[in-house]
């Protein structure tokens, strides 16, 4: 679907979102009128110091949390108006979520973890689910570990299994909250390559990260400070990307530090 | 449910200890339901079926003179009387060896053992008695250890005669020896003649009427009495018997109702454990719920997942509880029926109890789990994925602040946390407290009931200022009895009493019998200090009472619808009939279903009616209380009076201690069952506490990490959790004591009415209060060890990675 100007409609539309949290007798405002459009096929990195609102913004997009004011439209649905149950069904079909701590169900093997969203949403025919789960695990390089429990594989492998699980119902939008935060640099690079592959397959990706070096390897960098979007540029135009390109060096520096 | 099935099984299998605890908790409740409901169903129907199977007589008439078979059978000429079978029954004495003491027994003789008409005796082993042999009643054989082939010596015709036991016989209506029943032996007519019962002559008639109704049976009894009276034959007693209902049915029914209530309470505690366990699982897996919901799982999916787990707990519990319950019900029924001399050898089960068990195992846990599951399943993804904070919701209310203040004053740091932690999750605290308080209250109530029974018996026995009462077979001169006894060593005072059986007639009624066993009119000597019953209304006899006044039992008053000030007519058969004014009603305390409630009147008034002056058939004795034991003294007096041809009837001649023992035995079974249930509830309460503390450990994993990081050692952390458990135990004790005090009183009233047909004198058991404090602290300590140990093993790394 495209807009009047020929550009595709945004897959994520965040309009004037304000989010306040009660604290003691008062409240704290974490997002202060954030607006953001994300288009299909984009790889958007949300960066910024800790506690400045990037995970909160991601929670608005996934419907995990509701805005105090403003509206959030994702895949054409007014997420801020949906009930918990409607959100669960919508997420299962349209969204793949990847968490920092992998969050695989410890009771299920990797393949069963990948099959779980298919069982819940029932979009994929029952007969095809094991095969599709195996294909996804193969894609992330875990076909030979498919029947192991999460506790039996490494953190990097768990995160790759979580990526396979996020793709289970072939959602158009993948969101990842600090997906490499708990991984060593080599494993983090492997995971990032998988994300790049997803973009190549036409998925839209939103990633919260502390690492500017990783952020600038996406297509767009959105920087949040004090509840405002302070910088929203194509990744290639971000100063870090230019510096990296100029010095041809990878400087590992955390934005928040 | 697809992949989620795997999760259900994994959770059940991986957390074996939790699964076993949950299943065992449900099993306890379901087993209690199955065993008690099954027992009740089988016991009551078993009693009635056994009763109906022996062709029970409707009337058991005891006559004053011997009658022959023709006279007996001629009673069938009375319309409605369809059959009469004569028989003989007598009180005799026996011993197992020449040097053994004499024992009382009942000798029974039927005209033709192989062709009985009513109240069928059945031969269990050996042969029916002949001229030289004796048959022993089956329960007598068990209780007194008299076996086939043993030789017994009977006192007959002034000599001792030995008979071998050659038959084991079941009598359907023998009172259990535990409840005061005697030994029963069976003789043929020829042998019975040596006890003074001429062959072909009888003193007892078993009668059936048709069509049966209670009113018609009473009406026909009156007709029989009238008919016999025309022939100069007096009737001393008529026992009425319902053809469909066992004589012990009402007593057992009362007890089973109490048991059913306790089974339901037991199930309720199991259900609370299920709530606790489900809450524990939900708490532990909150993050997993968040993940499932973030992957597209709805509240319904999540609820189904956990309810399936609970259903499996229930089904596993059923797997254990169903066969165990069926077996327990059958074995308990078999054992209890045997007390009533009823065989229950072939395996039976109650379909009704099985249905209740299935419902209890499946529905009760599901309903119990519904609230925590729905609450957990409805949690939002954000809440579910948020890690646990350190503070929880504690500290906001005044109660919390008061608790914190109290903890600071009472407990050393860091254990102040333990008291505060107790109140952090008030809902869970409430559930755990509910089970522990209930267990404590039950324990205290059971022991209070027990002490109330003892207290009631003590008070009743204290109202009897005599130490023993001896009954004679026939009447003797009262002055002679008293003179003989007052010189006997060990006897401080003896007072001869006269009693006569009669019938209380309601206003307008002529000769129809009222009470099943009739009434017994006692003539109390003026100024007697031997006995003063507990007066409920009106007053007791005074030395000035010489007119026709009576004090009757509450039951007699209620049955005859009379109250103080009314006049009743007492028919004493061939001894006459007279009107008496009711001046008081008293509380009768007797567990003996075969006894009658006495009617007390001044001796001169009774003599005035009967014209039987200076006569007595019993004597009450006050002992000097010296060295000699009252039981031994009773036996000596028996011998002594016998030597003066005053034969003592062993049936009702008892010492005060024997009376207490018989009464207490009646209560013992109920007491044991109640006590067992209290113990089970204590264990279930411990399991509940363990579950609750386990959840606390999970919730406070991060807090434990923080404590560790600031120097908290494993023993400190373990002590913190154990202290929390023990504090919960102490709190439950504080609540259980007043609760038990409030509840024990009405329960004592119900049980008293059921067993003694009287309200128990309430005696709260203060020793039990101290015992339960120690017990609940032990239970709480043991229940806390596993969770505390788990908490003590948490590392900083684990705790901070949690969530």
Give the tokens for residue B553: 């039992």
Residue of B nearest to A84 (CA): B380
Tell which residue, B522, B527, B530, has the closest CA to residue B544: B527
Q: Are B610 and B575 in contact, with CB atoms under 8 Å apart?
A: yes
DSSP characters over B565-576: T-EEEEE-GGG-
Q: How far is CA B515 from the centre of its chain?
A: 24
Spell out, as residue ranges, where chain B has pLDDT lower than 70: 1, 178-181, 386-421, 424-425, 506-518, 573-574, 589-596, 627, 649-652, 666-667, 669-671, 673-674, 677, 699, 702-703, 705-712, 754-757, 795-803
For B379-414, what is each residue's pLDDT tens digit? Answer: 888 777 764 333 344 444 566 666 666 665 666 555
Q: Are B466 and B530 in contact, with CB atoms under 8 Å apart?
A: yes
Q: Are B515 and B574 in contact, with CB atoms under 8 Å apart?
A: no
Question: Angle formed by the axes of helices B16-52 and B351-377, to 10°?
Answer: 150
Testing the interface with B: which of A21, A65, A80, A84 to mutate, by most B Cβ within 10 A? A84
Give the tokens for residue B769: 């209060």
Mean pLDDT of chain B: 82
Sign of CA dihedral B355, B358, B363, B368: positive
For B482-539, what is each residue's pLDDT tens digit? Answer: 999 988 888 999 999 988 877 777 665 554 444 444 678 899 998 888 888 888 899 9
A-chain CB neighbours of B288 within 8 Å are: 105-107
Q: Record the pTM.
A: 0.67
Residues 6+ apart with CB under 8 A from B448: B740, B744, B748, B762, B763, B764, B765, B768
Give the tokens for residue B594: 């075969």
Residue of B nearest to A182 (CA): B801
Q: How many helices (H) and strands (E) does chain A have?
A: 8, 10
Tell which residue, B516, B513, B512, has the closest CA to residue B597: B516
Tell which residue, B724, B719, B713, has the closest CA to residue B796: B713
Touching check for B287 and chain A: CB below 8 Å? yes
B-chain CB neighbours of A24 within 8 Å are: none
Question: Angle formed by the axes of helices B16-52 and B3-14, to 10°?
Answer: 80
For B694-753, what is each residue's pLDDT tens digit? Answer: 777 776 776 676 666 566 677 777 888 888 888 888 999 999 999 999 988 888 887 777
Model confidence at A10, in pLDDT bands (50, 70, 90)? very high
Touching check for B288 and chain A: CB below 8 Å? yes
What's B531's DSSP letter? B
- B35 three-class SS: helix
Looking at the complex, report in whole angstroms how far the Cα of residue B382 sits from the nearest Cα belonging to chain A: 5
What's B101's DSSP letter? P
Q: Are B275 and B372 in contact, with CB atoms under 8 Å apart?
A: yes
- Facing A97 at nearest CB: one of B1, B294, B803: B294
Testing the interface with A: which of B295, B297, B304 to mutate, by most A Cβ within 10 A? B295
Record: contact A93-B296, CB cut-off 8 A: yes
Q: How far is CA B791 from the centre of its chain?
A: 45
Average the pLDDT over A183-200 and give the result: 83
Give the tokens for residue B499: 């009693």
| Cα–Cα distance, B589 to B536 (Å, whole number) | 13
- Facing A112 at nearest CB: one of B1, B3, B298: B3
| Cα–Cα distance, B305 to B376 (Å, whole number) | 11
Output the furthest CA–CA distance in chain B (Å, rounded). Answer: 104
- B628 three-class SS: coil
- Facing B3 at nearest CB: one of A103, A115, A169: A115
Looking at the complex, report in whole angstroms how far the Cα of residue B9 sits from the nearest Cα belonging to chain A: 9
Looking at residue B515, its pLDDT comes to 43
Whole-angstrom Cα Rg for chain B: 34
Q: Are B549 and B541 in contact, with CB atoms under 8 Å apart?
A: yes
Residue of A nearest to B9 (CA): A107
Record: contact A105-B291, CB cut-off 8 A: yes
- Facing B296 at nearest CB: one of A89, A112, A115: A89
Name every residue in A having a CB less than 8 A away from some CB of B: 59, 62-65, 84-85, 87-89, 91-93, 97, 99, 101, 103-109, 112, 115-117, 119-121, 126, 129, 165, 168-169
For B197-249, what is each residue's pLDDT tens digit? Answer: 888 999 899 999 999 988 888 888 888 988 887 887 877 777 888 899 888 78
Burial (0-12, 13-18, 19+ Cβ within 10 Å), A5: exposed
Residues 6+ apart with CB under 8 A from B325: B30, B31, B33, B34, B35, B38, B353, B357
Looking at residue B464, its pLDDT comes to 83
| Cα–Cα distance, B640 to B645 (Å, whole number) | 9
- Say what the alpha-carbon torsion angle A175, A178, A184, A187 is, to the nearest 10 degrees: 0
| Cα–Cα distance, B715 to B793 (Å, whole number) | 10
Q: Are A116 and A78 in contact, with CB atoms under 8 Å apart?
A: no
- Say if residue A135 is preceded by a cis peptide, omega within 30 of 0: no
β partners of residue B538 = B584
Looking at residue B388, its pLDDT comes to 36
| Cα–Cα distance, B464 to B456 (Å, whole number) | 13
- Facing B382 at nearest CB: one of A59, A104, A129: A59
- Facing B298 at nearest CB: one of A89, A108, A119: A89
Touching check for B800 and chain A: CB below 8 Å? no
Residue of B nearest to A87 (CA): B296
Q: How many helices (H) and strands (E) does chain B have?
A: 23, 20
Record: contact A64-B294, CB cut-off 8 A: yes
A-chain CB neighbours of B293 within 8 Å are: 84, 88, 91
> What phi and psi values does residue A3 have, to the nearest 5 degrees?
-90, 180
Record: contact B292-A103, CB cut-off 8 A: no
| Cα–Cα distance, B749 to B760 (Å, whole number) | 6
Q: Are A45 and A220 in contact, with CB atoms under 8 Å apart?
A: yes
Q: How far is CA A247 from the centre of its chain?
A: 30
Q: How far is CA B641 from the centre of its chain?
A: 38
Q: Are B768 and B674 in contact, with CB atoms under 8 Å apart?
A: no
Looking at residue B660, its pLDDT comes to 76
For A109-137, what is each residue's pLDDT tens digit? Answer: 899 889 888 888 888 898 999 999 999 99
Looking at residue B409, its pLDDT comes to 65
A-chain CB neighbours of B375 within 8 Å are: none
Window 3-22 of B: residues touching A by CB (8 A cutoff) are 3-4, 6-7, 10-11, 14
Record: contact A85-B299, CB cut-off 8 A: yes
Testing the interface with A: which of B284, B292, B294, B801 to mutate, by most A Cβ within 10 A? B294
For A67-109, what is each residue's pLDDT tens digit? Answer: 999 999 999 999 888 887 788 888 888 999 888 777 787 778 8
DSSP characters over B101-112: PPEEEEEEE-S-
Residues 6+ apart with CB under 8 A from A177: A55, A58, A97, A98, A99, A100, A208
Record: contact A120-B297, CB cut-off 8 A: yes
Q: Where are the alpha helices (DSSP H) in B386-425?
A: 398-410, 416-422
Q: How many CB atoms lie within 10 A of CB B389?
A: 10
């Amino acid at each position: 679907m495209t807009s009047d100007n020929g550009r595709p409609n945004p897959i994520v539309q965040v309009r004037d979102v304000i989010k306040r949290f009660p604290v003691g007798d008062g409240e704290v405002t974490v997002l202060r009128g954030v607006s953001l459009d994300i288009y299909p096929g984009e790889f958007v990195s949300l960066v910024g110091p800790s506690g400045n609102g990037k995970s909160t913004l991601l929670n608005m997009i996934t419907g995990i949390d509701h805005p105090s004011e403003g509206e959030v439209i994702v895949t054409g649905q007014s997420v801020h108006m949906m009930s918990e149950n409607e959100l669960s069904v919508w997420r299962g079909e349209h969204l793949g979520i990847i968490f920092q701590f992998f969050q695989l169900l410890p009771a299920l093997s990797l393949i069963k973890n990948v099959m779980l969203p298919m069982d819940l949403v029932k979009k994929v025919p029952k007969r095809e689910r094991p095969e599709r789960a195996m294909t996804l695990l193969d894609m992330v390089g875990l076909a030979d570990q498919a029947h192991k429990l999460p506790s039996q594989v490494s953190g990097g492998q768990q995160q790759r299994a979580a990526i396979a699980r996020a793709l289970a119902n072939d959602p158009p939008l993948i969101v990842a909250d600090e997906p490499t935060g708990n991984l060593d640099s080599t494993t983090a690079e492997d995971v990032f390559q998988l994300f790049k592959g997803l973009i190549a397959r036409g998925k839209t990706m939103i990633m919260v990260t502390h690492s500017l070096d990783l952020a600038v390897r996406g297509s767009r960098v959105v920087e949040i400070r004090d509840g405002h979007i302070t910088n929203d540029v194509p990744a290639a135009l971000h100063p870090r990307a230019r510096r990296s390109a100029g010095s041809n060096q990878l400087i590992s520096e955390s934005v928040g530090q | 449910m697809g992949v989620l099935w795997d999760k259900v099984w994994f959770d059940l299998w991986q957390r074996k200890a939790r699964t076993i605890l949950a299943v065992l908790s449900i099993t306890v409740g379901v087993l209690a339901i199955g065993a008690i409901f099954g027992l009740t169903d089988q016991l009551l129907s078993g009693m009635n079926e056994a009763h109906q199977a022996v062709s029970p007589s409707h009337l058991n008439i005891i006559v004053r003179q011997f009658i022959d078979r023709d006279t007996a059978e001629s009673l069938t000429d009375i319309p409605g009387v369809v059959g009469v079978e004569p028989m003989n029954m007598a009180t005799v004495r026996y011993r197992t060896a020449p040097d053994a003491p004499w024992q009382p027994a009942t000798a029974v003789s039927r005209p033709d053992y192989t062709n009985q008409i009513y109240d069928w005796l059945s031969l269990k082993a050996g042969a029916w008695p002949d001229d030289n042999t004796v048959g022993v009643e089956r329960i007598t054989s068990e209780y007194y250890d008299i076996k086939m082939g043993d030789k017994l010596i009977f006192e007959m015709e002034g000599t001792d005669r030995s008979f071998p036991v050659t038959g084991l016989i079941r009598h359907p209506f023998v009172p259990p020896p535990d409840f005061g029943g005697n030994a029963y032996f069976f003789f043929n007519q020829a042998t019975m003649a040596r006890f003074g019962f001429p062959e072909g002559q009888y003193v007892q008639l078993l009668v059936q009427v048709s069509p049966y109704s209670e009113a018609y049976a009473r009406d026909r009894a009156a007709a029989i009495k009238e008919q016999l009276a025309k022939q100069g034959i007096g009737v001393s007693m008529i026992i009425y018997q319902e053809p469909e209902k066992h004589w012990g049915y009402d007593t057992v029914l009362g007890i089973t109702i109490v048991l059913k209530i306790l089974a339901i309470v037991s199930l309720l505690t199991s259900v609370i454990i299920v709530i606790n366990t489900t809450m524990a699982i939900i708490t532990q897996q909150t993050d997993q719920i968040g993940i499932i919901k973030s992957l597209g799982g709805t509240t319904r999916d999540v609820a189904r997942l956990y309810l399936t787990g609970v259903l499996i707990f229930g089904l596993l519990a059923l797997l254990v509880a169903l066969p165990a319950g069926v077996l327990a019900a059958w074995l308990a029924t078999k054992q209890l029926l045997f007390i009533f001399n009823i065989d229950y050898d072939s395996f039976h089960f109650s379909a009704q109890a099985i249905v209740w068990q299935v419902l209890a195992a499946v529905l009760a846990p599901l309903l119990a789990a519904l609230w925590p599951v729905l609450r957990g399943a409805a949690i939002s993804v954000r809440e579910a994925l948020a890690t646990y904070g350190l503070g929880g919701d504690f500290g906001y209310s005044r109660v919390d602040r008061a608790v914190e203040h109290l903890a600071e004053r009472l407990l050393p740091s860091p254990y102040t946390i333990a008291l505060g932690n107790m109140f952090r999750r008030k809902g869970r605290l409430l559930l755990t407290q509910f089970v522990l308080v209930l267990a404590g209250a039950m324990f205290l109530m059971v022991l209070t009931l027990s002490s109330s029974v003892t207290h009631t018996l003590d008070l009743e026995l204290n109202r009897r200022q005599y130490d023993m009462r001896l009954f004679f077979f026939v009447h003797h001169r009262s002055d002679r009895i008293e003179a003989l006894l007052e010189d006997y060593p060990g006897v401080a005072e003896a007072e001869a009493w006269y009693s006569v059986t009669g019938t209380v007639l309601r206003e307008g009624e002529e000769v129809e019998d009222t009470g099943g066993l009739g009434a017994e009119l006692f003539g109390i000597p003026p100024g007697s200090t031997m006995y003063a019953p507990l007066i409920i209304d009106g007053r007791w006899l005074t030395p000035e009472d010489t007119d026709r006044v009576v004090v009757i039992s509450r039951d007699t008053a209620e049955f005859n619808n009379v109250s103080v000030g009314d006049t009743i007519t007492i028919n004493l058969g061939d001894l006459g009939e007279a009107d008496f004014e009711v001046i008081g009603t008293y509380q009768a305390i007797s567990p003996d279903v075969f006894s009658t409630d006495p009617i007390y009147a001044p001796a001169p008034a009774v003599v005035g009616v009967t014209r039987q002056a200076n006569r007595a058939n019993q004597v009450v004795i006050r002992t000097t209380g010296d060295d000699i034991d009252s039981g031994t003294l009773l036996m000596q007096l028996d011998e002594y009076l016998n030597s003066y041809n005053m034969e003592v009837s062993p049936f009702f001649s008892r010492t005060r201690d024997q009376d207490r023992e018989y009464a207490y035995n009646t209560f013992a079974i109920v007491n044991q069952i109640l006590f067992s249930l209290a113990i089970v509830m204590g264990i279930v309460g411990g399991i509940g506490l363990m579950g609750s503390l386990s959840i606390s450990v999970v919730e406070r994993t991060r807090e434990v990490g923080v404590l560790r990081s600031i120097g908290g050692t494993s023993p400190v952390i373990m002590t913190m959790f154990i202290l929390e458990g023990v504090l919960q135990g102490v709190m439950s004790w504080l609540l259980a004591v007043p609760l038990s005090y409030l509840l024990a009183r009405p329960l004592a009233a119900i049980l008293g009415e059921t067993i003694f047909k009287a309200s128990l004198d309430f005696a709260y058991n203060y020793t039990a209060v101290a015992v339960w404090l120690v017990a609940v602290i032990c239970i709480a300590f043991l229940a806390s060890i596993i969770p505390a140990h788990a908490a003590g093993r948490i590392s900083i790394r684990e705790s901070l990675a949690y969530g």
